[in-house]
Amino acid sequence: MKPRALKPGDRIAVVSPASPFSREAFEKGVGELRTLGYVPVYHDSVFDRALGGMTSGPAELRAAAFVRAWSDPSIAALIAVRGGHGSVHMLPHLEGWDPRQNPKLFIGYSDNTSILAWLTTQCGITALHGPMLDGRLARGTDGYDRTSFSRLIQGSGAGLVMAPEGLSVVSDGEASGPLHGGTLTLLAASMGTPYAFAPPDGSVLFLEDVNERPYKIDRLLMQLRLAGVVGRARAIVFGEMRGCDEPGGELKLRDLLPELLEDFEGPVLFGFPSGHTTGPCWSLPFGVRVTVKTSPAPSVAIEESPVE
C-alpha cells in the first residue's frame, strides 16, 4: 500500500518513537521542514522522557502519539526526531491497530528500523529510510540530500538513478526487487519475535550500521543468513558502515565482505550513504521495486514511487 504523495502546505507530524533529543536540534529540524514548504505539528508528549532518560517517554505514551498522528486525517506523513533506543518497545502497544486503514508515509532510520520493518514487511505499507530531524534536517543540506528526499516524498521518485560518490562493487551483477532493510543490529534483533523482519522472496536488501566491529557484523549477517533472509534476496546494498572497521584499521569490513558473502549469487554494493552517514543522508524507499546495477557504474535505480 502506498500513502499519498506530499505537496507544499501539507502537515507533517513530528514524533519521537525512540530516544530524547536537544530542543535546539528539534527547533532547527522543524525549521527545515518549514523551509521545504511543510507545516510541522507535534504533541507535547514528544518532549517527555522515561527509562532514566533513554527514551522519549513511556512506550505506551509514544505508541499513543504515533497512532494519534497517523489517524489524524489532516496529517500527511510522520517523521521521527531521532533514533537511539526504544522504538521496539512500541510495537506491542500497536497490537489491534491497523495502519492500513489510513496509510501514511513514515520517515526515519537507525533505531526506527523496528517500525520501518514492521510497516513494510508485516503491514505492507511503503516507508522512507531517510533523514530525521536531529543531526539531519537540523543541519540543512549538510545533513541530508534534499533531491532524493523531496522527490521520493512528493511522488516523483520513479526513474531516479542514484550513484553517489563512494559507492563500490563487492560482487558484480544486476538484479531488481522490492527494497527492504535498515539498521542491521535492529533487523537481527527482531528475529524470533512476532515482529521479525520478513522481506519477501526476491527482495533487494539494504543493510547499514554504525560503530560495530567486523566480528559483530559477521555475527549479525550470519543471523540473517540462518533465518533465511539473505537467501531470499536478489541483491544486497550496504550503507557506509561508518565506524565498522577494526580499530586501528587492521581489518576493514569492506575487504571482508567478499568472503562473508562468497556464496551469494546476486550483486553486492557497498557505501550507499543512507542512514548513519558521514555526509548528507540520502533517502531510500522501502517496499517498492528498485534495480541494482554494478556496470557501467554502481547504482540503485528507483523503479516506482513509494507514494501516489
* Domain end position, chosen among 130, 154, 178: 154
| Same domain, residue pair 79 and 194 | no
181-191 burial, b at 16+ Cβ within 10 Å, e below that, comes to bbbbbbbbbbb
**Running along the chain, 308 residues long, what does each successive block of 10 average in pLDDT?**
98 98 98 98 96 97 98 98 98 97 98 98 98 98 98 98 98 98 98 97 98 98 98 98 93 96 96 98 98 98 98
**pLDDT in the model for residue 6:** 98
**pLDDT in the model for residue 192:** 96
| Same domain, residue pair 134 and 205 | no
| Same domain, residue pair 67 and 175 | no
Domain count, the chain: 2
**pLDDT in the model for residue 248:** 87
Q: Catalytic: 89?
A: no
**pLDDT in the model for residue 47:** 98
Point out the catalytic residue in the list 32, 276, 283, 305: 276
Residue 5 lies in a domain: no
**pLDDT in the model for residue 296:** 96
CATH number at residue 261: 3.50.30.60
Residue 239 lies in a domain: yes
Which residues, at least 6 apart from 287, have a Cβ–Cβ distance to it below 8 Å?
120, 124, 125, 126, 127, 178, 179, 180, 306
Q: Catalytic: 150?
A: no
Rounded to two decimals, the pTM is 0.97
Point out the catalytic residue in the list 110, 148, 190, 283: 110
* Domain end position, chosen among 154, 175, 192: 154
Strands (E), 82-192: 105-108, 127-129, 161-162, 168-171, 174-183
**pLDDT in the model for residue 44:** 94
**pLDDT in the model for residue 269:** 98
Strands (E), 140-187: 161-162, 168-171, 174-183
Q: CA 57, CA 253: separation in Å to the nearest integer?
A: 36
Q: Catalytic: 208?
A: yes
| Same domain, residue pair 147 and 167 | no
| Same domain, residue pair 219 and 246 | yes
Residue 110 lies in a domain: yes
Domain range enclosing 93: 11-154
CA 178 to chain CA centroid, nearest Å: 14
CATH number at residue 93: 3.40.50.10740
* Domain end position, chosen among 105, 130, 154: 154
What backbone phi and psi angles, to 5 degrees, belong to 56? -85, 70
**pLDDT in the model for residue 249:** 80
